[in-house]
Structure 1
């Protein structure tokens, strides 16, 4: 009885502190439900939190996220607008991203783009804002602006797998197929084992001529329906663009690929697909390293991508690396990974904590 009396006194004399704790507990419960896919139950928790504190921007923002997952885009837009209008310094930028996605899903992509531009003016450069802008431009087939904004997103955060994947798609669509190969591999390094990793690896194999293009394009992330034909997914009788772009003579890469493929064919027997991939990949990276002689224009391709992969090529981990990025595609790579735990861990430690060049 005494304990209950003390608790009642605490609530009576410190109601704001007690209410704050209840609000946060409810939000935490809602977030856990959201993460478990229980979006409607999560919303009910946020509504309870708002009954404690009607001005809780965290609860309102989380509501917007859950409505977005429920595909109730009107409500996702409504609640994210409330957070934007409240100008919460911690949540406003994220709310812009939620509202822009809701607008896009309601076929209001132009409004979504203008909203994200407003967010950049208000909050400055942030990789999420630039990535979402790139994604919206990608959806309306504006590849130039897609590449411009996804590059900024990557410059701001080189650990975001989505940005590398979108960059790879856009580069391939404009015929920059060599640059696309390296961006696909950056994506696969950061996300090696998802379904979209398997699809990305398939598209990359087609670009590298390791595997012929199928009649139906490989399924891509970010868009609902495949509306493109890969310009660099090469049929046996089709040659990719070979002109010099960004200081790269793509004819050298094409020649290295075709020469490697020819040398792998012995007695009319086709080599296994994994071996073909590793050998072609090695040939491509070798030529790129040789071409990176210090005379090229200073852009990310020559100053970041090529040195990055050249370092892996000359390390003790190239074979492990090839296994790592192909685990979603080749069952034998997954089997190798499971049977070589020590080597796998050594590679990951080297990649994550190695010398400054690889980082």
Structure 2
């Protein structure tokens, strides 16, 4: 009798293990079909799993992703709700997909609530902060978007899109210094590609915006009337002076890259020297970072060359080829840098 019982238990566990493995294999098959663009076939695979286990979190999440890919957002939301109710280890991902679907359906306020609920469920998932910020930004809720971005960056300082969006947001608010700091940090994380090109162009536009050149000898400096009420007001005034100085005799024999690098170095140093007892995210995160970076000449040289790649400058390309170790040191320092936030 005991032998039969042991045999029955053995068969049961074998069946249970085999079933679990089969389900995972089928989910993997559905994921592969999705990645190949065979969405209908992927849905059929997931539906076959849900027929046996309607509350399977993985299958519900994957089918929600597939439905969102073919713009069947209501169906996607329905499956996301199953995952969310399960409170499984992937529920935070379902909050993200659900919020995105609500946004696509023209319900941004609902999406915002969903992202906030997701953050409450898992405050360590930076993508929820970014999605919350993006939806808020599109609604012109800049303060909410900024708060979400800062919170997300504190969770994951290496999420380049968060720094980029923060840079664009501060640009919309005409706060040049904080925008530049965010955009420069984005470029160190993502120095090449279409987004890097657009960010580099915006940086140049912001720097040029501070002055108006009538000719090489007549330059008008634009100073914000409220500069003295802004923590970064003095830095922005100095930024205008640095931009105006680019065409003076001091820079006459310098290359465009050298002028760009030197001007940025001065900007970072000015901010660092103004730091003193100033507090806040931009001072604690960006200013401290760039001020420490500019103190190390080889490191700063690597940074300047790395972010200049979108200009397709021959000398810059050659420098990057000749100095791979300096670039490696830069990114090792970046990864090990202790953020003061």
* 8 Å contact from structure 1 (residues 328, 334) kept in 2: no
Name the structure 2 match of 1:132: 131
* 8 Å contact from structure 1 (residues 274, 330) kept in 2: no
Q: 1:19 and 1:240 mapped to 2: Cα distance?
A: 70
Deviations along 1:185-241, one digit per CA (max 9) or x if unpaired, are: 1111222223212211111121122xxxxxxxxxxxxxxxxxxxxxx5877578363
Of 220, 238, 241, the residue aligned with 1:255 is 241
**Post-superposition shift, 1:77?**
2.0
* 8 Å contact from structure 2 (residues 211, 240) kept in 1: no
Query: Alpha carbons of 1:263 and 1:65: their partners in 2 closer, same or farther (altered >3 Å)?
Result: farther
Name the structure 2 match of 1:279: 262
* 8 Å contact from structure 1 (residues 193, 328) kept in 2: yes
* 8 Å contact from structure 1 (residues 289, 310) kept in 2: yes
Deviations along 1:49-94, one digit per CA (max 9) or x if unpaired, are: 434533211111122223223333233222212222x232312222
* 8 Å contact from structure 2 (residues 210, 222) kept in 1: no
TM-score, structure 1 normalization? 0.78
Q: Note the residue ranges of structure 1 that are not aligned, 5 or more in a row.
A: 1-8, 210-231
Name the structure 2 match of 1:89: 88
Query: Alpha carbons of 1:275 and 1:13: their partners in 2 closer, same or farther (altered >3 Å)?
Result: closer
Name the structure 2 match of 1:179: 178
Q: 1:34 and 1:312 mapped to 2: Cα distance?
A: 44
Q: 1:310 and 1:263 mapped to 2: Cα distance?
A: 27
Matched, 1:246 2:231: yes
Query: Alpha carbons of 1:107 and 1:208: their partners in 2 closer, same or farther (altered >3 Å)?
Result: same
Q: 1:119 and 1:299 mapped to 2: Cα distance?
A: 26
* 8 Å contact from structure 1 (residues 203, 233) kept in 2: no
* 8 Å contact from structure 1 (residues 100, 113) kept in 2: yes
* 8 Å contact from structure 1 (residues 19, 52) kept in 2: no
Which is worse superposed, 103-112 or 11-20?
A: 11-20
Name the structure 1 match of 2:292: 311
Q: 2:124 and 2:300 mapped to 1: Cα distance?
A: 35
Q: Note the residue ranges of structure 2 that are not aligned, 5 or more in a row.
A: 1-8, 214-219
Query: Alpha carbons of 1:90 and 1:280: their partners in 2 closer, same or farther (altered >3 Å)?
Result: same
Q: 1:205 and 1:18 mapped to 2: Cα distance?
A: 60
Classify the secondary structure of the residue corresponding to 1:241: coil
Classify the secondary structure of the residue corresponding to 1:14: helix
Matched, 1:346 2:332: no
**Post-superposition shift, 1:174?**
0.6
Query: Alpha carbons of 1:358 and 1:314: their partners in 2 closer, same or farther (altered >3 Å)?
Result: farther
Name the structure 2 match of 1:165: 164
Alignment length, in residue pairs? Answer: 322
Name the structure 2 match of 1:50: 50
Work out which of the two has the higher radius of gyration on C-alpha atoms and give 1 or 2: 2
* 8 Å contact from structure 2 (residues 221, 241) kept in 1: no
* 8 Å contact from structure 1 (residues 188, 197) kept in 2: yes
Deviations along 1:247-278, one digit per CA (max 9) or x if unpaired, are: 54221222223224435653xx9x65433321
Name the structure 2 match of 1:117: 116
Deviations along 1:111-147, one digit per CA (max 9) or x if unpaired, are: 1112223334454575333222211111111112111
Name the structure 1 match of 2:3: none
Query: Alpha carbons of 1:13 and 1:123: their partners in 2 closer, same or farther (altered >3 Å)?
Result: closer
Name the structure 1 match of 2:31: 31
Any runs of at least 4 consecutive aligned residues in structure 1 with deviations exceeding 6 A, and if so which? 9-13
Name the structure 1 match of 2:305: 323
Query: Alpha carbons of 1:247 and 1:204: their partners in 2 closer, same or farther (altered >3 Å)?
Result: closer
